[in-house]
């Protein structure tokens, strides 16, 4: 019986050792996984930081280029420059006198109680420039006949 109890005790100790070793191995794998995950996250964050810095530098360069282009546009579209090109290269000459005709709408006198007040209210009749106002033509004909 003693031999069987020694074998049973040895078998128990080997199972206990196997459980402790398995637990230790699982713990080591878990800690290693956590460390690898942490390191990979730091690598990704570092790469993203470098990309962010690169994009910010590109943004600053593009803003500077945009300011230079705006200055170029303003320089090229300056009226003095355009006038100089028109005179020197195209042979254009600035006119000495500008003549123009200003057309203002006819004013109407109210026919109501407020006679003498001039009104620019054109909501009554809107005639096109090529249309005929028959009332005015009739008044003109009657004025000529009288």
Please report, in tens digits, the pLDDT of each residue of the chain (146 residues total): 444 444 556 577 888 899 999 999 999 999 999 999 999 999 999 999 999 999 999 999 999 999 999 999 999 999 889 988 988 998 888 878 777 666 766 655 545 555 444 545 544 555 444 455 667 777 777 777 76
Token pair for 133: 């106002």
| Structural contact between residues 119 and 102, judged by C-beta atoms closer than 8 angstroms | no
| Cα torsion 128, 129, 132, 134: sign | positive
| Structural contact between residues 87 and 93, judged by C-beta atoms closer than 8 angstroms | yes
> How many domains is the chain built from?
1
Distance CA 146, CA 49 (A): 97
Domain range enclosing 54 = 1-146
∠ Cα 69 75 79 (to 5°): 140
């Amino acid at each position: 019986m003693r031999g069987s109890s020694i074998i049973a005790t040895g078998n128990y100790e080997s199972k206990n050792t196997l459980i402790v070793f398995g637990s230790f191995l699982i713990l080591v794998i878990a800690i290693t996984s956590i460390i690898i995950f942490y390191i990979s996250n730091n690598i990704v964050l570092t790469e993203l930081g470098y990309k962010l810095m690169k994009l910010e530098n590109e943004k600053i360069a593009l803003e500077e280029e945009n300011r230079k282009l705006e200055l170029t546009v303003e320089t090229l579209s300056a009226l003095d420059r355009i006038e100089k090109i028109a005179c020197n290269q195209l042979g254009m000459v600035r006119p000495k006198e500008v003549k123009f005709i200003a057309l203002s709408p006819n004013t109407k006198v109210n026919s109501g109680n407020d006679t003498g007040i001039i009104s620019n209210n054109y909501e009554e009749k809107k005639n096109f420039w090529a249309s005929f106002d028959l009332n005015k033509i009739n008044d003109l004909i009657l004025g000529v006949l009288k």
